Amino acid sequence: MRNSAPSPGPARSDAARGADAWALSRPGLRDSGLLGLAVVGVSLSAPLTTMVAAPMLALAFWRNAAGAVALLPVLLTRERSTLTGLRWRDLRSSVVAGLFLAAHFAAWLPSLSMTTVAASVALVTTTPIWTALAARISGLRLPAAVWWGLLLAFVGVVLIVGVDVTVSLEALAGDGLALLGAICAGGYVLAGARARERLATSAYAVVAYSVCAVAIAASALLVDAPLAGFEARDWWLIAAITVSAQLFGHTLLNLVLSSVGPTVVSLAVLLEVPGALVFALVLLGEVPPLLALPGVVLVVAGVALVVRASRPTTLVEPGT
């Protein structure tokens, strides 16, 4: 695992460093196993979340706060040496990632009670599309296949949204929140990739999860949402979501990020869509609307095409 990266020389531009972030690396047996566990973890997130009666802000707060506490011993023992010489600028990207993560949860979690698990997960996993657009805006010329993938995913979104218009306006609003959650998740991924250039996995995760928990707690205070006083069933569900989605999901993805790269990680996360559908069917008996299934397939296919083609072949210096 890479704990830090040497500072690039003056000859390497931001565009060149950005190209490295899209490098594709075939995962070994260990990384493949970790990715498999992570996919199972994030796939459980949406179905389990719909079973929680506690406020969604409380769920987001506890899964992040508990995740930070669980990783703190790792940071203070195995990776303590990585804290030497850290400065504010080394932590700044982790703080930004935590704020984006809080916004992601605040948007996406409520969508699960407004629309179907299938639609919500399909839309929230469009994150690689928004990161690809951010790469293009930053000055990277992307292959034509990326834009075809964007178009394919957009058609899929239109199909899903079209079905939800016929279902209810609440479902349509849930789709919008899921898309907003995907955009915020894109900011989380981009800020996290920059943070991981200098920080170990545990240091980055502890800071990002802690900032996320504090931001959510402040939001809960503003809207008078309780963070405690729930039934035992809710506490068990929150614990299950924390272990599966936060520790085995988010944290394991952050762990392999430095060895396999964000392209492979993003591709693996696409498996959350069919995984969440299977768990929703088993745990909730929820069968997605038949007409929405082609839209889900198109979103997954489009995002997969974007991820596969998102290694820039030509670099364009910013401002040229």
Q: pLDDT-based confidence at 213, cuts 50/70/90?
A: very high
In this predicted model, what pLDDT tens digit does every residue of 61-77 receive, in sequence order?
999 999 999 999 988 88
Q: Where are the domains of the chain?
A: 46-315
Count other C-beta atoms under 10 Å from residue 11's C-beta: 6
pTM of the model: 0.76
Q: What does the chain look like in DSSP terms, one character per residue?
A: -----PPPPTTS-HHHHHHHHT------HHHHHHHHHHHHHHHHHHHHHTT--S-HHHHHHHHHHHHHHHHHHHHHTTTGGGGTT--HHHHHHHHHHHHHHHHHHHHHHHHTTTS-HHHHHHHHTTHHHHHHHHHHHTTEEPPHHHHHHHHHHHHHHHHHHHHHHHH-HHHHHHHHHHHHHHHHHHHHHHHHHHHTTTS-HHHHHHHHHHHHHHHHHHHHHHHT--SS---HHHHHHHHHHIIIIIIIIIIHHHHHHHHHHHHHHHHHHTTHHHHHHHHHHHHH-----TTHHHHHHHHHHHHHHHHHH-S-SEE--TT-
Q: Say if residue 290 is exposed, middle or buried (CB neighbours under 10 Å; 0-12, 13-18, 19+).
A: exposed
pLDDT of residue 314: 39
pLDDT in tens, 108-117: 988 888 887 7
The band of 258, judged by pLDDT with boundaries at 50, 70 and 90, is low
pLDDT score for 101: 93
The one-letter amino acid code at 65 reads A
Average pLDDT over residues 258-280: 71
Q: What pLDDT is attached to residue 95?
A: 93
pLDDT at residue 317, as a whole number = 35
pLDDT, average across residues 265-282: 75
184 has pLDDT over 70: yes
User: Across residues 196-204, what is the average pLDDT?
Assistant: 83
More confident residue, 198 or 111: 111
Is the per-residue pLDDT at 233 higher than 90? yes
User: Please, are residues 201 and 251 in contact by the beta-carbon 8 Å criterion?
Assistant: yes
- pLDDT at position 237 over 80: yes
Across residues 229-247, what is the average pLDDT?
Answer: 92
Separation of alpha carbons 16 and 147, rounded Å: 21
Predicted local confidence at residue 218, as pLDDT: 94
Residue 13 has pLDDT above 60, yes or no: no
Give residue 12's pLDDT band: very low, low, confident or very high (50, 70, 90): very low
What would the mean pLDDT of 36-50 be, rounded to a whole number? 87
Exposure on the CB side of residue 268, measured as CA atoms within 13 A: 29
